[in-house]
Structure 1
Amino acid sequence: MTAGDSGGGARVKSAVRTVELLEYFAGRPGMHSLAAVQEAVGYPKSSLYMLLRTLVELGWVETDTPGTRYGIGVRALLVGTSYVDGDEVVAAARPTLDRLSDDTTETIHLARIDGTNVVYLATRQSQHHLRPFTRVGRRLPVHSTALGKAILATYSDEQVRTLLPETLPSLTGNTATDREKLIAELHRVREQGLAVDHEENTLGLRCFGVAIPYRTPARDAVSCSVPVARLTPAHEQMIKGALFDARDRLTMATRRL
């Protein structure tokens, strides 16, 4: 290996560590000690400290007054916001999300699959006092959400098996934790064109989701979340109809993307 190759490899390693650090902080809000970060990422303490100090100077990581604890910095917010602001699907979906919010009066989400999670790209808050709170950038397991299941239903069974482990993490007592049972449910989702989260992510909250088919398999979906205390059979049917209408509108809005 030449000196130039070695330097190039070192730069790649440093880039990987930088991304891993930012993802560590993004997934764990708050401030963390150097020891806690080192235990989680496993980097040598001296090189980890130097990398953290560099990221602090650049604004990607913040530190407390004594300089002993670290957390995600404001520049990460700027990059995340620019991703959403520049996304063509988010822009194309805005009128439909507004209309779906008005039609249902409930909380609306647009999300994208990212590995074994879905990430929220846009939300419209419910008009009711009793409502779920969701922020843009939130990540949830793909198997426990109506959004995720709607997207997974566009995958083949083998693609789902490749993506997900045999045993899935449980968020509530209703979460499907067996991959094969989830796959059987995805067959029904394909037939019905709509996925349901039966309090699998949050107790007391039911969600309905449809995939946006501008790609195959899909990567985005839209959903409507409703507290079960307010969900009547008539309201459920109205929401499902509104979601199918939104899917058709989004299919047209994203057909050239």
Structure 2
Amino acid sequence: MPEPTDERGVREVKSAARTVDVLELLASRGDRPARLQELADALAVPRSSMYALLQTLTARGWVRTDTTGSLYGIGIRALLTGTSYLDSDPRVRAVRPYLDEASDALGETIHMGRLDGTDIAYLATRESHEYLRTISRVGRRLPAHAGALGKALLAERPAEALPEPPYTRLTPHTHTTRETLLADLTATRARGYSVDREEGVPGIVGFGFALRYDTPAQDAISCSVPVARLTPTHEERIIAVMREIRAKIESMPSSGSAGAPHWR
């Protein structure tokens, strides 16, 4: 079987692809470490080859193992590399002060996220001081159809660009059909922002605003608030403040990222 190629016809390096597959699989498991045979089976790799790869990654800090050497998890080097990504991204650096401004004004949790395939990756978060429940964190991924950030960005795209169902149900309120998601995105476009009423996290309502400094928008900001704290007056305040914050972000001088590469 021929090796996979990219759009430029460049052949994939099998060893590099296998390394990335291992790291992504371990990262996807969260706090559930994996055994050697589990990884070998999941990736259809010979046990001996998987063992050699894991030993190399462990020695370099990308994978960690327990004291018995039988369980494997993602290593600290992954964290350091992820932090470097955030520090080097001009958009994230530019938006952070505005997240602080929104957090100070509203006292609620504020997020910045980026569309990554069919998911949203959280790039920055300002937690509310009013409640201690953490609903997301930097580096977390959620399906784009199931939250305010994702729906704000999906609404910027044509229907044919939407993720294909079936859609993962995170709560009883999550959209699980294309028809209901399309109707929601139509309403989002009409009002100019998305609303997530306990679709991603029970008890939490989110309001998402696409940042249109790219076309189509890749980034969005949102405000999350517990249902118990969301009065009609507070909702109006959230929408007004977040609209103002979005306008400030979108009006930033383009020179803010002058000299930075335009990443694909």
The verdict on a shared fold, with TM-score over 0.5 as the criterion, is: yes
Q: Does 1:209 align with 2:211?
A: no
Cα contact 1:125–1:133 (8 A) shared by 2: no
Aligned to 1:234, the other structure's residue is in SS state: helix
CA RMSD of aligned residues (A): 1.5
Equivalents in 1 of 2:47, 2:38: separation in Å? 11
Q: How many residues align?
A: 246
Equivalents in 1 of 2:205, 2:233: separation in Å? 15
Cα contact 2:193–2:207 (8 A) shared by 1: yes
Partner residue in 2 for 1:39: 41
Equivalents in 2 of 1:199, 1:40: separation in Å? 33
Unpaired runs of 5+ residues, structure 2, are 1-9, 258-264
Cα contact 2:135–2:201 (8 A) shared by 1: no
Q: Which amino acid aligns with 2:27?
A: A
Q: Does 1:120 align with 2:122?
A: yes
Q: Which amino acid aligns with 1:145?
A: G
Equivalents in 2 of 1:153, 1:172: separation in Å? 21
Q: Does 1:249 align with 2:248?
A: yes
> When you count helix as a share of all residues, which structure comes out higher?
1
Equivalents in 1 of 2:126, 2:175: separation in Å? 27
Tell me: higher relative CO, structure 1 or 2? Use CA pairs within 8 A at least 6 residues apart: 1
Partner residue in 1 for 2:193: 194
Per-residue CA shift, 1:116-172, capped at 9, x if unaligned? 110110000102035444211011010001000000111011112xxx123211011
Map of 1:1-257 to 2, 5 A cutoff? 12-30=13-31, 31-160=33-162, 164-253=163-252, 255-256=254-255, 257=257
Q: Which amino acid aligns with 2:79?
A: L
Q: Among the aligned pairs, what percent are the same residue?
A: 50
Aligned to 2:209, the other structure's residue is in SS state: strand
Cα contact 1:97–1:124 (8 A) shared by 2: yes
TM-score, normalization by structure 2: 0.89
TM-score, normalization by structure 1: 0.92
Per-residue CA shift, 1:235-255, capped at 9, x if unaligned? 000000111101101101264
Partner residue in 2 for 1:4: none
Equivalents in 1 of 2:198, 2:135: separation in Å? 15
Unpaired runs of 5+ residues, structure 1, are 1-7
